[in-house]
Amino acid sequence: MTAISTPSGIVRSLRPVQLALAISACLSVASVGVAQRDMSSVEMKAEHVAGKVHMITGAGGNIGVSAGDDGILFIDDQFAPLADKIRAAIKGIHAGDLEYLINTHFHGDHTGSNAIFGEDATIVAHENVRVRLSSPDNRGGAAPASALPVITFDDGLSIFFNGERVRVTHLPTGHTDGDSYIYFEDSKVAHLGDHFFVGRFPYVDVGNGGNAEGLRSNIEMLLKSLPAGTKIIPGHGPLADLGDLKEYFSMLNDTIGMVKQAKSAGKSLADVQKQGFGEKYKEWGSGFINSDAWTEIIFSSLN
Ligand SMILES: [Zn+2]
């Protein structure tokens, strides 16, 4: 039996065979749960990262904010019941108008307030974010028009805002099939969305085009291309740097390698889960994705 804690705080005990379904349903549980969950106690905390860029944490994915003479460009918007608090937190940083909202990917804990902020800001995201949000198969049904990205791209684009180039670049076949990272060139800040869970095994949405090996390749590319001194806003967890990202990459290499080797030796998923990742990675499984869930994600990512 495996116990997982969902974002809505429900703890379920599951047999391994049920785990894949449960994990793919987690975000659905998150969106449904949030509608009923009392968010009144959630506090928004803003911190300055570097240059024009700030980070806001609350519940759900971390929010990045560029604030300056051109107004506000922000990245991701957590859950709809938090929209007023997010707006107030942004106002506390700068009084400018909301001009652009970039979605790192389509998951509900990163796009939950799109319908509200889409009335003010122009939403920008990878083409697959629009495809998935507008699909009737989207959790909770097709999103309303105001929640959809109005500028989409295949590989990437730049927005020149608050005196610097803001580069938005697609990360193929990683956490989902529609992820991007955002890099603020002069501030030297990157927002990596859910490609990066600091010090924790990541969730990879294999059912929506994600892949653990693809995620590892994307992190390898980022480690080669992000300049020294870059500060990193992760999808979940505290503000980080390239040292944290290197540690994360090393964990991805080790754990994916272990599962790959065991699978090619003919071991079953249950065998590999039983084997685990050892003491070294115990703490990494203490978050949303435990060791068994991460093993299953890797197992199902391997061809
Ligand atoms: Zn996500």
CATH, residue 186: 3.60.15.10
d(CA 269, CA 296): 7
From ligand 1's centre to the CA of 131, what distance in Å?
16
Distance (angstroms) between ligand 1 centre and the Cα of 206 equals 11
Cβ(301)–Cβ(213) below 8 Å: yes
- What residues does the ion ligand 1 have nearby, CB within 5 Å? 107, 194
In degrees rounded to 5, what are phi and psi of residue 13?
A: -100, 130
- Virtual torsion, Cα 153, 140, 115, 173, nearest 10 deg: -20
DSSP-assigned letter for residue 147: G
Please give the C-alpha separations between residue 263 and each of 28, 204, 295, 302, in angstroms, as whole numbers. Answer: 30, 19, 11, 9
Dist CA 113 CA 270 (whole Å): 39
| pLDDT tens per residue across span 224-248 | 999 999 999 999 999 999 999 999 9
Identify the DSSP state of 236: B
In angstroms, what CA-CA distances link 237 with 24, 61, 241? 21, 9, 12
d(CA 228, CA 246): 12
Q: What is the pLDDT of residue 303?
A: 78
User: Does the structure show a pLDDT above 50 at 3?
Assistant: no
Interval between CA 105 and ligand 1 midpoint (Å): 7
Query: Domain range for residue 18?
Result: 2-301
Specify the DSSP element, H or E, that contains 127: helix 127-134
How do residues 181-208 score in pLDDT, each as one tens digit?
A: 999 999 999 999 999 999 999 999 999 9
- pLDDT, average across residues 3-12: 34
Q: Express each pLDDT in 241-270 by its tens digit.
A: 999 999 999 999 999 999 999 999 999 999
| Region 159-179 average pLDDT | 98
The Å distance, Cα 21 to ligand 1 centre, comes to: 16
Tokens of 284: 């990494």
Q: In what order do the strands lie in the sheet with 179-184?
A: 156-161, 164-171, 179-184, 189-191, 231-233, 240-241
For the ranges 17-21, 28-32, 162-166, 218-222, the lowest mean pLDDT is seen at 17-21
Q: 77-100 as b/e, with b when 16 or more CB fall inside 10 Å?
A: bbbbbbbebbbebbeebbebebbb
Mind listing the pLDDT tens digit for each residue in 44-66? 999 999 999 999 999 999 999 99
pLDDT at 36: 56
Centroid of ligand 1 to alpha carbon of 69 (angstroms): 31
DSSP state letter for 196: -
Question: Under 8 Å CB-to-CB from 83, ≥6 apart: which residues?
Answer: 77, 113, 116, 117
Q: Look at the pTM and tell me if it is higher than 0.85.
A: yes
Number of domains in the chain: 1
CA of 71 to the centre of ligand 1 (A): 27
